[in-house]
Amino acid sequence: MGQKHPTTITSLEMRAPPARAVAPPALPLAIIRAHKPTLHFYRYLYDTVGAPHMWVERHRMTGEELSKILEDEQVEIYVVHIDGVPAGFGELDFRESGTASLAYFGLIPEFVGRGIGPYFLYQLISMAWSRDIERMAVNTCTLDHPSALPLYQKFGFEPISRRDTVIEVPDGG
């Protein structure tokens, strides 16, 4: 079985890029695209960022299913580094025509609260809008960091739907 966690999922979208840029934090920061990352590295990022927020979707996939996504040219993985150390990641998915989906975004817990998140999110949004898209979409839920929804809205994402569900986290995961 597993533990069940009730949550509300909010789907958001934006139809234009943000009007203002975000200044980088005063940290030695680099955002690097991970071209076709290995499953091991991707799972490290996914688990380290997502464990506090009950991220489980990618655990339900086989290695082959996940590799197919990671190797797709329309899926881009970006890793933010502080002093050369991975501090978080974002996943842009362009597989739906005209849409950039921010499939995953977050920071490793030790890097939260240092001004990295807003700058990294702004950079991901800018990269998405540099492509030929009409909209950008993201989902967040009440299990995510409490700042997630307000941050997305600050950048111009607007809620388009909400639904209640239950996330089941496998025992030991």
Which domains, ranges and CATH numbers included, belong to the chain?
2-170 (3.40.630.30)
pLDDT for residue 122: 97
Mean local confidence (pLDDT), 127-156? 93
pLDDT for residue 91: 98
127 pLDDT band (50/70/90 cuts)? very high
% of the chain residues with pLDDT over 90: 77
What b/e sequence results for 73-86 when a residue is b if at least 16 CB atoms lie within 10 Å of its CB, and e otherwise? eebbbbbbbbeeeb
- Contact by Cβ (8 Å): 15, 157: no
Mean local confidence (pLDDT), 6-24? 92
Mean pLDDT of the residues in the chain: 93
pTM: 0.92
pLDDT digits (tens, 9 = 90+) for 26-45: 999 999 999 999 999 999 99
CB half-sphere exposure, 36, CA atoms < 13 A: 5
Question: What are the structure tokens assigned to 149, written together?
Answer: 């929804």
pLDDT beyond 60 at 173: no
